[in-house]
Structure 1
Amino acid sequence: MIRKAKPSEIVQVMAITRACAVKMIENKIYQWNDEYPNIKAFEKDVSSGELYVLTISKTIIGCITISEEKDIEYNDIEWNTKDSKHYYIHRVAIHPDFQHQGYAKRLMDFAEMLAIQNNVSSIRLDTFSQNLRNQKFYLARGYLKTGEIYFPRQSEFSFYCYELIIT
């Protein structure tokens, strides 16, 4: 089941993203670190109603942030659609014990269905340039690469921006 996260669940969500960060680092993907994702980001996500969790038998195994707020880092990207009503996806995570079982697909299916229901023009996101698996995942879903940005506190490498046109 996918539902909005509760404030009391932020600790569990942080544990999932930390476990993901450890696994990525083991695979030489330096996308997440001690500074990101952080509790402040998830507190903001929960308070704005943008953090969703994926549960299996009442256990949280994953999360996704679906926001209408455009981060300033995206301002210089040449998106395929004009700025209007968009969803911005952040902090998609599935606990490593549950990865490669289609759960990330379920989270993205949920976000895309929500976008259709709410007449959103497109879904925009970024993924780490060194994370080839994520890039293939989004391209296979029909997302188009639109540019690249940098988050120096996360990595010296860039992040690629992608967009899926909904309407």
Structure 2
Amino acid sequence: MNTSLQDTDDILDLYKMASDFKKKVSGVQWPEFERSMIETEIQENRLFKITVDQQIACVWSITYDDVQVWEQQNADPAIYIHRIAANPNFRGQKFVEQIVEWSKQFARENNKLYVRMDTTAGNQRLNDYYIKCGFSYLGSKKITDTEGRPSHYHNASMALFQLEV
């Protein structure tokens, strides 16, 4: 379901926990995300959540455009998933698999042919997991135009994934 502005603090806390976990597992962490970015995504109905026992168990956002990462391929009809973060108290519940099923349906309903995502390159375990969830690995790419992007895109290579709907 969509998140609401009342969820903002919980979402920021969840991103912090996910960033700490990501650093522990892969040595790479997310930056602290701007509250205004999160609020904009909520207001534009692009930030979603899964709840368990009335707690936010997982969040993710989408965009309909990601030209800085996908360049020419951005012209294809696609949705782009960003920042999947699971509450550590609910890990192991296969949220990514649930998000994949949701995203395929969402893409169909919005006349999109692809679901795409990127992650910092070099985490083979995560790459294998995304492939297991149905994504095709398209390779990694150094992002050169990072203006307006969160800092984890700066001077980074990103692994690209695509799922045909």
Q: Scaled by the length of structure 2, what TM-score is found?
A: 0.83
User: How far off its partner does 1:53 sit?
Assistant: 0.8
Deviations 1:129-158 (A, max 9, x none): 132232112212332223423369326541
Q: Report the Cα offset of residue 17 of structure 1.
A: 0.9
- Residue 50 of structure 1 is matched in structure 2 by 46
CA gap of 1:63–1:71, structure 2 versus 1, over 3 A, is farther
* SS in structure 1 of the partner of residue 75 of structure 2: coil
**Measured at CA, do residues 84 and 158 of structure 1 come closer, stay the same or move farther in structure 2, by a change above 3 Å?**
closer
Give the aligned residue type for 1:75.
E
Question: For the residues of structure 1 that align with 2:123 and 2:44, how far apart are their CA atoms?
Answer: 29
CA contact (8 A) 1:29 1:130 kept: no
Deviations 1:73-114 (A, max 9, x none): 3216xx4xx724210111111112211221222122211221
1:8-23 maps to which residues of 2 (within 5 A)?
8-23=6-21
Which residue identity lines up with residue 74 of structure 1 in the other structure?
W
Contact preservation (8 Å) 2:118, 2:160: yes
Residue aligning to 1:31: 29
Gaps spanning 5+ residues in structure 1: where? Answer: none
Q: Does the 8 Å CA contact 2:50/2:56 hold for their aligned counterparts?
A: yes
* Structure 2 unaligned regions, length at least 5: none
Q: Deviations over 1:9-67 (max 9, x none)?
A: 11111111100111121224313133xx3323211211211110110121111101122
CA distance in 1, matches of 2:4, 2:156: 33
CA contact (8 A) 1:149 1:159 kept: yes
1:149 matches 2:142: yes
| Structure with the larger helix share | 2
Q: Which residue of structure 2 aligns with residue 5 of structure 1?
A: 3
In structure 1, the partner of 2:157 is 158
Cα distance between partner residues in 2 of 1:9 and 1:47: 12
TM-score by length of 1: 0.82
Q: Which residue of 2 aligns with 1:120?
A: 112
Q: 1: CA distance between counterparts of 2:34 and 2:88?
A: 18
Q: Which residue of 1 aligns with 2:93?
A: 101
Once the two structures are aligned, what percentage of the paired residues are identical? 18
